[in-house]
Amino acid sequence: MKLHVGGLAYSVTDDELKDFFAEVGEVKSAVIIKDKFNDYRSKGFGFVEFENADDAKAAIDKLSGQELKGRAIVVNEAIEKPREDRGSRGGGRDNNRGGRDGGFNSFRKRY
C-alpha cells in the first residue's frame, strides 16, 4: 500500500523518510518528489510504500501529525491518478493543404 506524505521539510531525504516510517513496519520504498525545474529541490511531499496494508494503516494512524525535522507531516493513503491520454504533441493539423473548401478567411469572397 502506498502513502502520500505531505508537509515535509525541504531538507528531508529519501533515507530519512524511510527510516522515520520504518518504526511502524517494513518499508518497501520511500521517495521525496523533487522539482526538476528548480534545481531538483524537494516539493515538500513524497510517497512511502509498505510491504503490507496493515503497516500502512498503522502509519497513517500513528505518524500523521507527528513532527519530522520540525514540521508536522500529513499522512494519507495515496490515490493513484489514472494516466490521461495526452495524444500527440502536434499542432492538430488536418492535413488539408489546398483547395478552396474552407480554412482561414474562407468567408471572404473571391473574385
Q: Is residue 53 part of a domain?
A: yes
- DSSP E strand boundaries for the chain: 2-6, 27-35, 41-50, 67-68, 71-72, 74-77
User: Considering the domain boundaries, does residue 6 fall inside one?
Assistant: yes
Cβ atoms of residues 18 and 57 within 8 Å? no
What is the pLDDT, as a whole number, of residue 38? 87
Q: Which domain holds residue 18?
A: 2-77
Q: List the strands of the sheet with 74-77, edge to edge.
A: 27-35, 41-50, 2-6, 74-77
Helix or strand (DSSP H, E) at 8:
none
Q: Confirm whether 88 is domain-assigned.
A: no
Quick check: is 59 in a domain? yes
Is 102 within the bounds of a domain? Answer: no
Residue 82 pLDDT: 81
**Residue 90 domain-assigned?**
no
pLDDT digits (tens, 9 = 90+) for 84-108: 766 656 555 555 555 555 555 656 6
Residue 87: predicted pLDDT = 61
Task: Tell me the CATH number at 21.
Answer: 3.30.70.330
Looking at the structure of the chain, the number of domains it has is: 1
The reply to whether 110 falls in a domain is: no
Residue spans of the chain under pLDDT 70? 85-111
What span, in angstroms and rounded, lies between the C-alpha atoms of 3 and 12? 16
- Is this prediction's pTM over 0.75? no
